[in-house]
Chains A and B, each alone.
Chain A
Amino acid sequence: AQRVTQPEKLLSVFKGAPVELKCNYSYSGSPELFWYVQYSRQRLQLLLRHISRESIKGFTADLNKGETSFHLKKPFAQEEDSAMYYCAPDGAGTALIFGKGTTLSVSS
């Protein structure tokens, strides 16, 4: 079965520290991959998608087909990055499957 794993339920870092939110998927073929973010009291929203290969709010995500991973990274965390992050591969023809999410807490 198609599956996405976000191994960390909570990740706590200090402001200015590097951040890596892990995501591993088990899909055949080449799925489209997304990261969604939910800030406190805001709607869940798209942060970035693999195909656009862009950096959003300093975050990047690289697809590693060999490791079937799509980790989200930021070199210097900011307090406003504190949120819940969901990794979501699209199984091309099947419904988008979200991971269980990782709560990122950035403290000063």
Chain B
Amino acid sequence: DAGVIQSPRHEVTEMGQEVTLRCKPISGHNSLFWYRQTMMRGLELLIYFNNNVPIDDSGMPEDRFSAKMPNASFSTLKIQPSEPRDSAVYFCASSLGGTSYEQYFGPGTRLTVT
């Protein structure tokens, strides 16, 4: 298994543009997590899904952020419109089920909004 796959690995965009980050979890994992990592705030949970259903989205910063999981093997995190303060590394992680299981992280997407 290649592990959790994220694309793109790097994204540079201009303020106001729509950004879509993609994640493919490990096959058989039931939970998927989106995190944002910055120097100032560390690693923040944005949203997590269990069996494709959003369980906790309280970490989503504002309405500009949205996440979907249309099936067990794919999830997207969308920012529309993007702002410079959204610049960060975005990680996707998956686990066998819930938060008590080990989470396996993807390589991250480094987003720069100019």
A and B associate: yes
Which residues in window 36-59 of B have CB below 8 A to A? 41-45, 48, 55-56, 59
Contact A96 B56, CB 8 Å, known A43-B3, A86-B43, A101-B42: no
What are the residues of chain B within 8 A of A100 when measuring CB–CB? Answer: 41-43
| Contact A98 B45, beta carbon cutoff 8 Å | yes
Number of interface residues of B (CB under 8 A): 23
| Contact B100 A92, beta carbon cutoff 8 Å | yes
Number of interface residues of A (CB under 8 A): 20
Q: Does B99 contact A (CB under 8 A)?
A: yes
| Contact B103 A95, beta carbon cutoff 8 Å | no
Contact A96 B42, CB 8 Å, known A43-B3, A44-B91: no
Q: Does B107 contact A (CB under 8 A)?
A: yes
Q: Does B105 contact A (CB under 8 A)?
A: yes
Quote the shortest CB–CB distance from B54 to chain A (angstroms). 11
Contact A90 B100, CB 8 Å, known A95-B48, A95-B59, A98-B45: yes
Q: Does A83 contact B (CB under 8 A)?
A: no
| Contact B42 A46, beta carbon cutoff 8 Å | no
Quote the shortest CB–CB distance from B26 to chain A (angstroms). 12
Quote the shortest CB–CB distance from B40 to chain A (angstroms). 8
Q: How far is the CA of A45 from the CA of B93 in the complex (A)?
A: 10
What are the residues of chain B within 8 A of A92 when measuring CB–CB? Answer: 100
| Contact A32 B100, beta carbon cutoff 8 Å | yes
Chain B's closest residue to A102 (CB) is B42
| Contact B41 A46, beta carbon cutoff 8 Å | no
Q: Does A74 contact B (CB under 8 A)?
A: no
| Contact B99 A46, beta carbon cutoff 8 Å | no
Q: How far is the CA of A97 from the CA of B46 in the complex (A)?
A: 11
Q: Does B18 contact A (CB under 8 A)?
A: no
Q: Does B102 contact A (CB under 8 A)?
A: yes
What are the residues of chain A within 8 A of B59 when measuring CB–CB? Answer: 95
| Contact A98 B43, beta carbon cutoff 8 Å | yes
